[in-house]
Amino acid sequence: MTSPTITLDHLIQTRLAEIAEDAWQDHRVMPVRDGNARILQLGTAAVEERWYCQADHGDGLCNEPLLPHRQASTLLGMYNDDEPIPHPQLPPVEIELLDPSIGCFMTDALFHWSDVVSEYRKAQG
């Protein structure tokens, strides 16, 4: 009798689905399907939206794009491990994301778009 083989792709897809479900249950954060992604541009840099917030922060559903550390750093012109948003107005959402440069899942923070834009404007003077 042979046991079923689990491929690495299947394992990664399963873990991504679990992360998305946990993010929704714990924080009301939803992943963006590829066909629904928006291009978020700030200055001369742009990134593709991957997550959005469906939480109510007191003014109804948020609906803002959420950016992981690497995307926020890219838009702010930061190419090191410094915190891109030192004092966010809305609390960042901690989540596990697949880090292709390391090849594993790492804890990361999702920042609200409004906080990224605000930090960009502060840096511009």
Per-residue model confidence as pLDDT tens digits over 1-50: 566 677 888 988 999 999 999 999 999 999 998 788 899 999 889 999 99
Residues 50-59: tens digit of each pLDDT: 999 999 998 8
How confident is the model at residue 81, as a pLDDT?
Answer: 67
Give long-range contacts, CB 8 A cutoff, 24+ apart: 81-88.
84/111, 84/116, 84/119, 85/111, 85/115, 85/116, 85/119, 88/112, 88/115
Question: What is the distance between the alpha carbons of residues 53 and 112, in angstroms, rounded to a whole number?
Answer: 8
Backbone angles phi, psi at 19, to 5 degrees: -65, -45
